[in-house]
A and B are shown apart, each in its own frame.
Chain A
C-alpha cells in the first residue's frame, strides 16, 4: 500500500517518460554495430568468413590480394568474426546502423594487398608484428625472416638447413 503510494508520488514529481521524437537514445556500452576492418592488421586467413553464420562476410584471394566483403543486410551482429579474428583486424561500430533504401547500400569492402616474397617475388600474405608476438613471443632473427618468405621458399630454406651437417648454418 505505502509502496504504491510512494511510486505514485514519484511518478507525479517525475514528469513524462516519453522521449520526444527526434530523441537520441545513447547506445549501451558494447553495442554491436557494423563490422569494420583494418586492412593493415588483416592476415588474410579467412577465419571471419568461415565462422560467419549468415555468410555476411566473404573473402577471396585474387591476383596477389585478398578481397574482403561485408554485406550488413545479412549480418546477425553476433560478433563471432570479431572474437575469432587472429590479427584483431575486425571491430564493430559502437552505434546501430542507419536504415537504407536500396539493398547492398551499406556494404563494405576492403582489399588487403600482399607484399612480395623477398626471395622469389611471389605475392604472399603478410605477417604482422602483433601476430608474430602472439604466436612466437619474441622470435630470433632467423624465424622472423622465415615468416616473411612465401610457403615454397620457406620449405626450400628449411630443407636446405636439414641437408647441412649438424650444427651448420643453412
Chain B
C-alpha cells in the first residue's frame, strides 16, 4: 500500500459522505414518522440529492433509521438488524417514541426506548418530526458517519 493508502482512505471518506445508504426499521411505530420519512424522498424535499438511498437490505446500509417504541416482537429483529449493518454505522431515532417511548412508556408490551436495546447516535424530536427536520437530521447523521469512519 504505502503511497496509495492515504489516497484510498480519502476516496472511501468521500464515498461515505456522498452516498450514505439508509435502512428504515419500524419498531412498532404508528406510521406517522414513517410517512414523514417517505415525504423526504419526494421530489420536493428530495433527500436523494445528498446521495441517500432507501436500501432494502441492512447489509448494504450505513444509516439505520428507527421509528417507534420497541415492542416485544420487534426487539430481537432490531438487535439482529443492528448487528447486520457493516461498521461504521449510525443509528438515528426518528420521533419521540424511539427516544423515550413517549405515551407508551411503562406499557408491559414495550421493551423500548431504543437506546436500551442498541446505541443511538442522533435523536430527531417531534411527534412526528417535520420532513425538513428529518432531512437536516440525516445530513447531521452523515457527518457523524464520516467522523466514525475516520476514527476507525
Query: Across the interface, do A74 and B105 meet the contact criterion of CB distance under 8 Å?
Result: yes
Residues of the B chain whose Cβ atoms lie less than 8 Å from the Cβ of A25: 130, 132
Docked Cα-Cα span, A43 to B135, in Å, equals 40
Say whether, besides A18-B44, A21-B50, A74 and B122 are in contact (CB < 8 Å). no
**Binary B-proximity of A17-53 (CB < 8 A = 1, otherwise 0):** 1111111110100000000000000000000000001
Q: Which residue of A lies closest to B45 (CB)?
A: A19
Q: Tell me the count of chain A residues lying within 8 A, CB to CB, of chain B.
A: 29
Chain B residues near A (Cβ < 8 Å) = 43-46, 49-50, 96, 99-100, 102-103, 105, 115, 121-127, 129-130, 132-133, 135-137, 139-140, 144
Q: Are the C-beta atoms of A101 and B103 separated by less than 8 Å?
A: no
Contact B123 A96 (CB under 8 A): no
Interface string of A86-103 (1 = CB under 8 A from B): 000000000011111101
B128 closest partner in A (C-beta): A77
Tell which of B102, B136, B140 touches A74, judged by Cβ atoms closer than 8 Å. B102
CB <8 Å contact, B96 and A74:
yes
Report A's interface with B, CB cutoff 8 A.
17-25, 27, 53-55, 71-78, 96-101, 103, 106
Q: Is the CB of B122 within 8 A of A18?
A: no
- Residue contact A76 to B96, C-beta cutoff 8 Å: yes
What is the chain B residue whose CB lies nearest that of A105? Answer: B123
